[in-house]
Amino acid sequence: MTERIRVIEHGIVLQDFSNVASPEEGLRAIDEARLFMAKQPRDGSVLVLTDVSGSIFNQKMVDAMRALAVHHRPWIRGSALVGLTAIMRIIYRAVVAITRREIKVCETRAEAVAYLLTFKKP
């Protein structure tokens, strides 16, 4: 596990892409997320919280995030996203439409965790 990609409370996988200062740093973190997910059970049981607060995105990053969302599909039970700016929300809508993934936008990590817990098996 890395500092950016790790399991947090309730077994939720945190993809911490917050405060990414350069596209290169972001692309490295996305690669780490892909490798991390590949080691998880591929049974549609993983809950993921992605935080992009304060990060810089360019087209390469957007494309990589879209590819990551597609890659993760077989593993995911529920996804939440925090830290979107107004412009990033437009990009988010396009990514969701293209990937056909349901990813809930939340205002805080706490709100995202609460949302993801609704997907926990009883």
What are the structural domain ranges in the chain?
5-116
Confidence (pLDDT) at 6 = 96
Please answer whether residues 57 and 117 qualify as being in contact, where contact means their C-beta atoms are separated by less than 8 angstroms.
Answer: no
At the topology level, CATH places domain 5-116 in Transcription Regulator spoIIAA (3.30.750)
What pLDDT sits at residue 87?
81
pTM: 0.91
Q: Is pLDDT above 70 for 1?
A: no
Asked whether residue 122 carries a pLDDT value surpassing 90, the answer given is no
The answer to whether residues 5 and 13 touch, using CB atoms and an 8 Å cutoff, is: yes
Q: List the one residue out of 16, 45, 50, 106 whose CA is nearest residue 115.
A: 106
State the angle between helix axes of 59-72 and 86-99 in degrees (0 to 180), rounded to the nearest 10: 40
Give residue 97's pLDDT. 83
| 86 has pLDDT over 90 | no
